[in-house]
Amino acid sequence: MTAVRTSHTHAQAVDAAIELFSRQGYEQTTVEEIADVAQVSRATFFRRYRSKEDVVFADHELLLEEVVVMLAATRPDALDDGDLPEGSWDPATDPYLEVCRAARLVFDHHVGQRETSLARYRLLQQVPILRDRELVTTHRYERLFTKYLRDTLPPDRSSTVHSIAFAAGVVAVHNAMLRRWLRNPDLDLRPDLEEAFAELRRGATADLERRRDLASGAAALATTAANADGARVVVAYLEPGAGTDAVVRAVRDALT
């Protein structure tokens, strides 16, 4: 029950701040006015939100906590004793998919709070300091996703650079789709978001497979050309020791 009341209180404070900023202006609105509309004391306001710009994104504090719990449940060390050796990789878990699921949760939160999201978007266009605060929130999601990937991908697939790149890609795709929705909230962009995330996952998996082949010295590269009759011809360049899987992947990539 405490979590529900806290969530409701946060929602009240967010809505109160956005409404007052939109109507009176950011600089003209005082903390006392926001606290009064949100039905909390001035001391409680500062204990919970610290500043005027923080209260605009107070709902994301709860959402970040939810994302942390969601991702933590899929880490190997969260499994029951006896399921897997400590620190080992659970093949049933796809960390890329879990990060995308977490990003979808954030997207659904915006869509589910339609009026608040639209009002906040309009407000951010007018107040530069709030846009800066939004960037801070975005970077927190990105850092959370990066750390999860670094900690959860198996050793032969994990690298800091790769984890950073995938996390940044997920956040960038989410933000691009969200901006499209905010400009036209009648659109249903969930299918587009799903496909974009699937494309990111395919790219990440293919990149790791290529790097693993190169590292093992068993790489294959294929390209296509056309013969005199116009038929497609696949030409493969093989490193010594290239296995069948590497050749098949190279030919498949060339054909697609």
What is the tens place of the pLDDT at every residue in 132-157?
A: 989 999 999 999 999 999 888 877 66
| In the predicted structure, residue 14 carries a pLDDT above the cut 70 | yes
Three-state DSSP string of 172-203: HHHHHHHHHHHHCCCCCCHHHHHHHHHHHHHH
Give the model's pLDDT for residue 218.
45
Give residue 86's pLDDT. 43
pTM: 0.73
pLDDT band for 237, please (50, 70, 90 cuts). Answer: low
Tell me the CATH number for domain 1-50.
1.10.10.60
pLDDT digits (tens, 9 = 90+) for 83-121: 444 444 455 678 999 999 999 999 999 999 899 999 999
Overall CATH class of domain 57-216: mainly alpha
Indicate whether 221 pLDDT > 90: no
Looking at per-residue pLDDT, the higher value among 86 and 188 belongs to 188
> What residue spans define the domains of the chain?
1-50, 57-216, 220-255
